[in-house]
Structure 1
């Protein structure tokens, strides 16, 4: 609460605050990624998760989410969540591409072409955008969006 008033920041304001709170060059890279994802998904739902659980304990890095899909769990429960996410981490940036069924697909299809990045089943991590091929990252994001339509 600022200025004694009680108000809630919009998701867009939370995203802007989160990005501008990052040190350079991470801030510029996050702004560039934000723009790229919004070009791929122009009218998508935006999410901001502060990384805290229901007890207000930090359990993950804050992250920005884009898009919308329903996750189905093995027990039959479902949860609404984003398709693409980005998050600053200690050493750089993580891009999450959620909902891809084959957890080897990202690594096999984009891993070698991405540049200096580590790729797992749904996460691409890199230090800075200049270390990776942005066109390949964008292709991976586009694939993830199509896979969860």
Structure 2
């Protein structure tokens, strides 16, 4: 069975954020780090070379594949900031998303250009709902 490509690492979150080229994106990354720490109560951990994650869960598919992954997180990418909200896969957050502001959404990934484009209190609520859902669905042993 192949392992997840994206694994938790011991890399420094702050060193990763400091290396973000755009000063504005770096500032938004620090703000997201603080927001996610406050909302989840978790410390940030680097997942792979470019994702800052908070909390983790263990999954096991019917196929037998299993592994660990972050519960919520973000990555300040060149094109946009990716916000990972795994609880969105199984929940209808359309009402909250309609109040968020300028964004794009895929299955479990929210894309924003900058925090100034969105309602941060709505983002906090999305993070909390997604995090709480995943903690309930995948309780720690």
TM-score of Structure 1 vs Structure 2, range by shorter chain: 0.7 to 0.9
Tell me by how many angstroms 1:101 deviates.
4.6
Q: TM-score, normalised by structure 2?
A: 0.80
Alpha-carbon offset, residue 45 of structure 1: 5.1
Say whether the 8 Å CA contact 2:87–2:129 is kept in structure 1.
Answer: no
Change (3 A) 1:89 1:73: same
1:113 match: 99
Provide structure 2 residue ranges, at least 5 long, that are not aligned to the other structure.
1-8, 136-141
Q: Highest CA radius of gyration, 1 or 2?
A: 1
Aligned residue for 2:6? none
Q: CA deviation at 1:30?
A: 0.4
1:1-149 alignment runs, 5 A limit:
11=10, 14-22=12-20, 23-42=22-41, 44=42, 46-51=44-49, 62-102=50-90, 105-106=92-93, 108-149=94-135
Aligned to 1:7: none
Which of the pair is proportionally richer in helix?
2
CA 1:80–1:45: 2 relative to 1, 3 Å:
farther
In structure 2, C-alpha distance between the alignment counterparts of 1:15 and 1:124, rounded to whole Å: 20
Q: Tell me the SS of whatever aligns to 1:35.
A: helix
Secondary structure at the aligned position of 1:116 is classed as coil
Distance 2:101 2:12 in 1: 31
> 5+ unaligned residues in a row in structure 1: which ranges?
1-9, 52-61
Q: What is the Cα-based RMSD across aligned positions, in Å? A: 1.9
Residue in 1 aligned with 2:138?
none
Query: After the TM superposition, which parts of structure 1 deviate over 4 Å for at least 4 consecutive aligned residues?
Result: none
